[in-house]
Structures are given as C-alpha cells and as structure tokens.
Amino acid sequence: MLKKIIFLKYGELSTKKDNRNFFLKILNNNIKKALNDVTINYDYGRMFIIPKEDELPLIINKLKNIFGIHEIVPAYLLDNKDLEIIKETVLDLLKGKKFQTFKVEVKRSDKNYPINSMDLRKDFGAYILKNINNLKVDVNNPSLTINIEIRVKEVLIYFDGIKGLGGYPVSSLGKGLLMLSGGIDSPVAGYLAIKRGIKLEAIYFESPPHTSEAALDKVKKLAKKLALYNNDIKLHIINFTEIQEEIYKNIPHEYLITIMRRMMYRISAILASRENAKVIVNGESIGQVASQTLTSMKVINEVVSIPVIRPVACFDKLEIIEIAKKIDTYDVSILPYEDCCTIFVPDHPVINPLKEKCLEYEKLINYEDMIYNAIKNKKTITITHNIEEEFQDLL
C-alpha cells in the first residue's frame, strides 16, 4: 500500500545544537495547533504528517505560513520493500511529472537490506532511463531529484519539496509588543519580528472622535493578517484622545509629535511589562519623517528602558512595500483612513528635539494620571486567522 504523507525539513533550526530540541518542541506545538486533529508521527527526530484524503492541499497551505519550517516535503510511504515493486512504484509516481534531467538519491537506514545504496542508486537510474524516453542523468543540476529511503519497515519516496518560511518558531524567543498603526511599516515590522520567533501582542492608539471606527477596523484587519503567522494575536486598544488633546492645547506645536510619541512609548512600556513582553517592536524607519531622525529617535526612546526593536529601521520604503505586498497587508494599509498622528500633525515638527525642552513642556500637562487612565480603560481583543475559511472561498 502507498500512503501519502508530508515531512518537514527544519533548515536553520537543525544548526541549533543544544537548543535544537527546545526549538523543535515549540515548532511541533505550533504545527499541532495549526493543523488541529491531523495525525502526526515522529521518527528519528523527523515529523511525519499523515493527512486524511483530500486534506493535503489545505495542510500544505497551512504549513507554508508557519515559521521554523524550511521545506515542506510531500512524500509517499510504501509498505513493501521488494525491489521490483519499489521500482514500479517510483515509475508510476514519475508519470505526469515534467523533467528532462534527474538524479537518484538513495538512503538505506535498514542496514540489513541486501543491496547497498550505491548499487541501488545505479539500478534505479538505469531502470528509469530504460522506461522513460529522452531523459538524462545530471548529478549536479538535475531538474528533478528522486529520493528513495529504504527504512526498516517501509520505503519513503519523495521528490523536490516546497519552500517554507524559514525563521524561528513563533514564541521560541518570547513575547514582544508591536505598536501597530494602520500604516504600511508597522505590519511589516511585526511580520519580521514574528519571523525571529517573537510572539506578538499589538497595541493601537486611537483618538475618537478624531479617528473613526473605520480606522480601527483597518488595524483589526492588519492584526488578522499577522495572526496568520502569530497563531493568533491579542490587540490592545488604547484611547489616546485626552492625552492628545491636552498636548495639543498646552504644548508648542513643533513638539507635538515628539511628546505624543514619548507618551506612546511610556504607555507601551507599561503594557509590555504587564503582559510579560520583553521588547517593544515598531515600524520606525530612519529618516522617514521628522520623528524618525536619529536625534528624534533618541529623545523619544529615552523615556523607556525596555529594548525597542525596529525591524524596518534600515529599509527603504520600496523595500518595505515589497514585503507588505508579499504578506498581503499593503492593500489594507493604503486604505485612506486617518490616523491619530496625522490629525494632530503640525506644519513644522522639530527635527532635532531637545530632551530638556520635552521635560519642560511635559510639566505643562498632568500626563501620569492620563496614562494611568488610558491603560485602565484599555480594551483588549483576541484576533484569530482561520485559513480554512479563506481556502473555502478559493475553491
């Protein structure tokens, strides 16, 4: 009997030596969660996924979105080790495949099998050449690699795999808090952080009635895109209206953005500490706007001691857009809804803010109470991404 299965290659993870098991355990949990009730077997450190009939495409699609997987390999298990049967089966599986050159790789984990790997390789190669016309062997750059593993109980047959996302399994590096706006940069920053194994929660500052429900909805949609890679995502919504209005009323306008961002950082740091997040992640990109000059970043960053990770700090906008398109956040990000920063944006924001000025101006507002209230009144929702629904839509 021939059984269709999938196995996974881990790439970068397999170089992690002592930590390998730690990473794999988390990856396995993430995969189990994503695949629900699919049967998974383990064999010599390798994970075999046994899909039910017709589930293969959906499962492959799910695996394509899981960080930590280097390659997804659809394979076949044959429970008969008779050489002629193996040959016929391989030939059968090759029908319908388009390739001009090939090589055969044989691994013999059953050391009692009567023929050695080298002879098996030659034998399979000759058999394929005899039975399919116009083929050539190319060991260096074949258009198809045929892998045959003679195992103790069965034979594993597979061809080239599908590229996975790579990176580290989500959660393996702990938790981070993403400052998620409705823009292009922060979802990309979030995606890149998740890729490095950070499980994200997100924080969004809204300023009703200056910002609308539609703007919040846009952020929820972006969070949902990230939830695909993050398993699910907690979104904390902070009402920022009072703080922004007070800043607007009391502080010289060239310092509006600097001080507003210092407040955002302060709130994010408190929330991060409460939620056990080790870092703040945001979409700042050096030089993009006045608040992202090196001086601005320093003066803003000074109000927190938690590390702030800026995955797109050194990317050009076009590079960021390219990733945004790849992860399908771009079309949502460019929807024209106002953000809390854009409403209160001054004509001439300071490019080189001074820390002393910030401290002096901040004395003009009672920001500690306002921050306390904003956090007390936060709303938190958990957003999930159900790929099954999307898959149904595609069918």
Binding site for ligand ATP (CB under 6 A): 179-181, 183-186, 203-205, 282-284, 288-289, 339-341
Q: Which does 186 bind (CB under 5 to 8 A by kind): Mg ion, ligand ATP, none?
A: ligand ATP
The binder of 340, among Mg ion, ligand ATP, none, by C-beta within 5 to 8 A per type, is ligand ATP
Q: How many residues bind Mg ion (CB under 5 A)?
A: 1
Cα(199)–Cα(260) distance, integer angstroms: 27
Pick 154 or 284: Cβ nearer Mg ion: 284
CA atoms of 321 and 238, how far apart (whole Å): 27
Sketch the per residue contact string, 128 through 167, with Mg ion: x for CB under 5 A, - otherwise.
Answer: ----------------------------------------
d(CA 384, CA 370): 31
Contact pattern from residue 170 through residue 209 relative to Mg ion, giving x for each residue in contact according to CB under 5 A and a dash for the rest: ---------------x------------------------
Q: How many CB atoms lie within 10 A of CB 76?
A: 18
CB 185 → Mg ion: shortest distance, Å? 4
DSSP 273-290: HHTT-SEEE----TTSSG
Nearer to ligand ATP, 72 or 281 (CB): 281
Residue 173 touches which of Mg ion, ligand ATP, none (Cβ within 5-8 Å per kind): none
Whether 280 contacts 177, CB under 8 Å: yes
Binding partner at 201 among ligand ATP, Mg ion, none, C-beta below 5 to 8 Å by kind: none
CA distance 33 to 26: 11
Of 114 and 336, the one with the shorter C-beta distance to ligand ATP is 336
Give the burial string for 225-260 (b: 16+ CB within 10 Å, else e).
bbbbbbbbbbbbbbbbbbbbebbeeebeebbbbbbb
Q: Kindly list the residues in this chain that would bind Mg ion in the complex (CB under 5 A).
A: 185
